[in-house]
Amino acid sequence: DGGITQSPKYLFRKEGQNVTLSCEQNLNHDAMYWYRQDPGQGLRLIYYSQIVNDFQKGDIAEGYSVSREKKESFPLTVTSAQKNPTAFYLCASSLQNPGQVYNEQFFGPGTRLTVL
């Protein structure tokens, strides 16, 4: 089945540790995204990538890093510089059609990160 997988579902981290969240898609989508969701808040964009080996900062990129070495993979690293990392993290992907403004994003099941 085509879709987006995120692992792990739950993640616990000690303060001061870096942690990497996995996101893989087999939809052959060009663009991938990382969002953060806090209780009662909408989704806020952390980073996005429209093509392999290229990515852009979103609204809240500080304390996070990403890589896009393969089309199907877009891992997110939450560094120790992120002051409030406890949140729900969602990965998404979409097609990028030339000349079309925007395609719908499809989301993974999310990773809930808790800093102890």
Partner 1 sequence: AQKVTQAQTEISVVEKEDVTLDCVYETRDTTYYLFWYKQPPSGELVFLIRRNSFDEQNEISGRYSWNFQKSTSSFNFTITASQVVDSAVYFCALSSGYSTLTFGKGTMLLVSP
Positions in the binding site for partner 1 (CB under 8 A): 33, 40-45, 48, 58, 88, 90, 92, 101-110, 112
Min CB(19)–partner 1 separation in Å: 18
Of the two residues 43 and 52, which places its CB atom closer to partner 1 in the complex? 43
Min CB(92)–partner 1 separation in Å: 8
Of the two residues 63 and 110, which places its CB atom closer to partner 1 in the complex? 110
| Contacts of residue 78, Cβ cutoff 8 Å, sequence gap at least 6 | 13, 18, 19, 20, 21, 63, 64, 85, 113
Give the whole-angstrom CA distance, residue 75 versus residue 95.
18
Structure tokens at 63: 């304390």
Of the two residues 75 and 106, which places its CB atom closer to partner 1 in the complex? 106
Min CB(80)–partner 1 separation in Å: 25
Give the whole-angstrom CA distance, residue 103 versus residue 55.
18
